[in-house]
Copies of this chain bind each other. A is one copy, B any other.
Amino acid sequence: MSNKPTLPKGTRDFGPLQVQRRKYMLQTIERVFKKYGFMPIETPAMENLATLEGKYGDEGDQLLFRVIDSGEYFEKAKRNLIPENSIEIQNNLTENVQGIIRNVINPNVINEISEENIRSFIDSFISKYKGDEINSTSSKSRLSNSVLSYLKKEKKTLAKNIYKLILKSNLKLSDDESTFKLYFKEFQEAYLNKISLEIISELKDTRKRLSTLTSKELNNYITEKGLRYDLTVPFARFIVMNRNEIMFPFKRYQMQPVWRADRPQKGRYREFWQCDADIIGSKSLLNEIDLIQIYAEAFHELGIPYQIKINNRKVLAGIAEVVKGIEYMNTIAVAIDKLDKVGEEGVKKELNNHGFTANEIQLLFDILKTEGNAQLQELKSKLNNSAEGLRGIEELEFIISNIHSIPNGTINLSTDFSLARGLSYYTGAIFEVVATAGTLKSSIGGGGRYDNLTGIFGLPDVSGVGISFGLDRMYDVMEELNLFPDTLKACETKVLCCYFDKATQEYALRGAALLRANNIATEVYPDITKKIGKQLDYANALHIPYAVIIGENEMKSGKAVLKNLTKGTQHELSLEEIVHYLQLN
């Protein structure tokens, strides 16, 4: 008996009812995306780490799931760990071989000699030795002998080649061939011993390097790929790779799982789904207006009580400018982003640590707390000295006034000037959505405008704006608030065909085929050994609403008993009548 199987930490199986509910959510969101003209794309689960790294901050990089290269990755890593040393050794070799040449030829023409042969010898020597010795268990003396004998053998050829090269090139030797040989012999004795010691020390260094190597360093040698961390960076990569086939503005949606090696807790999983909609290649604020409507419509359809919070990075910039200086925008953003977690006092303390005076902090909170009907007007007067801040307020005004003028029911949208969101690539609008009922405090959606996300992949100046639905958190909210329609069932089978023996079983098979041909989801109970009661138990356990029971008499008369398992009523009908009845009910 084997060990009990388990799931990796932070991951989950989804049983039939959960999948049906998740599909219902995905279909609802997808329908809204399509209604607003968004097109689907999908990207692979694995991305090159070059694509992922450096996009989510240091913390994000640490949360990437890294996939090791297949095959003999560690052997390769070890070979790759050596070059730093071997380059030096290679340089030494080159210098020394040049040295011997200097001794045997006219020093005045040394610079004109081709080093190709010499270099190729050195290269093959190095590459031959590297892989080999790392994996060998040779003792120091065995290694030394083998290096020596190898070098001696090769060096003779080298000596010959060098000599030939010198003769061919019409360079003048300072001596004849026998003198050259003598020089070369001396070189072998003195020099080769030195080389063998260098090789040994190189191997030692490699071992030492391995033993002091950190995981972070090793990553570079053994991993090339990672699981995607979000859908935004893969989307930016997609845009850059397909820029020539895409009609801009490009409106795409994407609904796929992402993976983060985060510490699992309530509402935080290591595999979870994001549903993203982005418009790229348009600076128009109409896109922000569409995205807000999408949020409102999807949450409304799902019945989730929601509040969309909106802010603007330019407003944050304006606040910074007025309070202390625009260069403090990120400091302020990072600090007030924690308002929910650490409270007003905590934020004040952090700002104080960053050198904010009590007056500045007072001013900041005074601005953040601008409220009431004329909120934006009031903020305008407070940020009157910041052109950037006023632009941000204008953008907010345009978006909010249009949202209110659209006849689309109530949209729960409010400004929150303390909304900052961590991601530093946002440049305009920022969104965040929270559920206004239930116990989940973290956001169920977020997004914003980014003016240069594709720039990191070499396509600058393409503005985009997007939102994301956090499917798994929304699921948790819906489950807690009991928002899933009762019509969603684990099993969608409408009728179970039951029978008594071999003959009625075959009849049931044909009857099932007829029902299925009429698009009625049908099962035939598979096991002939089970009595009708057991067969009906199966139907009841799966909440299958109808059973068709086929006995010998029914079979002979071309009929069957249709039983309503909810009501307990039953009728003898022809198969055609059963089809007709079930299509209507």
Q: Which residues of A are interface residues toward B (Cβ below 8 A)?
A: 1-8, 11-16, 18-20, 22-23, 34-37, 39-48, 50-51, 62-63, 65-68, 70-75, 78, 134-135, 137, 203, 206-208, 210-215, 218-219, 222-225, 227, 237-238, 240-242, 245, 247, 249, 251-252, 257, 259, 261, 270-271, 279, 282-284, 286-287, 289-290, 293, 297, 402, 405-408, 456-458, 490-493, 496, 505-506, 509-510, 513-514, 516-517, 519-524, 526-528, 538, 541-542
Contact assessment for B44 and A12 in the assembled complex, using a CB-CB cutoff below 8 Å: yes
- Once bound together, how far apart are the Cα atoms of A237 and B8, in whole Å? 12
Contact assessment for B223 and A68 in the assembled complex, using a CB-CB cutoff below 8 Å: yes
CB-CB < 8 A to A289: which residues of B?
509
Contact assessment for A5 and B526 in the assembled complex, using a CB-CB cutoff below 8 Å: no
A227 in complex: contacting residue of B39, B45, B237, CB < 8 Å: B45
**Would you give 26 A-B contacts (Cβ < 8 Å), ordered by A?**
A4-B457, A5-B237, A5-B458, A8-B44, A8-B48, A8-B225, A11-B46, A13-B42, A14-B41, A15-B245, A23-B40, A35-B521, A37-B523, A39-B490, A39-B492, A62-B71, A66-B70, A75-B215, A207-B211, A249-B526, A279-B526, A284-B528, A286-B524, A402-B509, A407-B510, A407-B514
Contact assessment for B513 and A402 in the assembled complex, using a CB-CB cutoff below 8 Å: no
A1 to chain B: closest residue by CB: B458
Top 7 nearest A-B pairs (CB, nearest first) are: A37-B523, A11-B44, A284-B526, A16-B39, A70-B261, A19-B40, A74-B215
CB-CB < 8 A to A527: which residues of B?
249, 282-284
Contact assessment for A70 and B65 in the assembled complex, using a CB-CB cutoff below 8 Å: yes
- Once bound together, how far apart are the Cα atoms of A4 and B402, in whole Å? 40
How many copies of the shown chain assemble into the complex? 2
A17 to chain B: closest residue by CB: B39
Contact assessment for A406 and B513 in the assembled complex, using a CB-CB cutoff below 8 Å: yes
CB-CB < 8 A to A517: which residues of B?
407-408
User: Closest CB-CB distance, A509 to chain B, in whole Å?
Assistant: 6
- Once bound together, how far apart are the Cα atoms of A6 and B402, in whole Å? 40
CB-CB < 8 A to A206: which residues of B?
211
With A36-B522, A237-B5 known as contacts, the answer to whether A66 contacts B65 (CB < 8 A) is no
A210 to chain B: closest residue by CB: B210
CB-CB < 8 A to A48: which residues of B?
5-8
Contact assessment for B402 and A506 in the assembled complex, using a CB-CB cutoff below 8 Å: yes
- Once bound together, how far apart are the Cα atoms of A560 and B472, in whole Å? 42
Contact assessment for A41 and B66 in the assembled complex, using a CB-CB cutoff below 8 Å: no
- Once bound together, how far apart are the Cα atoms of A457 and B4, in whole Å? 6
- Once bound together, how far apart are the Cα atoms of A391 and B41, in whole Å? 50
Contact assessment for B457 and A5 in the assembled complex, using a CB-CB cutoff below 8 Å: yes
CB-CB < 8 A to A214: which residues of B?
72, 74-75
With A37-B491, A211-B210, A517-B408 known as contacts, the answer to whether A65 contacts B63 (CB < 8 A) is no
Interface core residue of A270, A283, A284 (most chain B CB under 10 Å): A284
CB-CB < 8 A to A402: which residues of B?
506, 509
User: Closest CB-CB distance, A344 to chain B, in whole Å?
Assistant: 34
- Once bound together, how far apart are the Cα atoms of A68 and B221, in whole Å? 13
User: Closest CB-CB distance, A416 to chain B, in whole Å?
Assistant: 24
Interface core residue of A41, A67, A203, A287 (most chain B CB under 10 Å): A67
- Once bound together, how far apart are the Cα atoms of A270 and B13, in whole Å? 23
Contact assessment for A526 and B286 in the assembled complex, using a CB-CB cutoff below 8 Å: yes
A22 to chain B: closest residue by CB: B42
CB-CB < 8 A to A37: which residues of B?
491, 493, 496, 521-523
A5 in complex: contacting residue of B224, B240, B249, CB < 8 Å: B240
A284 to chain B: closest residue by CB: B526
Contact assessment for B35 and A513 in the assembled complex, using a CB-CB cutoff below 8 Å: no
Contact assessment for A241 and B67 in the assembled complex, using a CB-CB cutoff below 8 Å: no
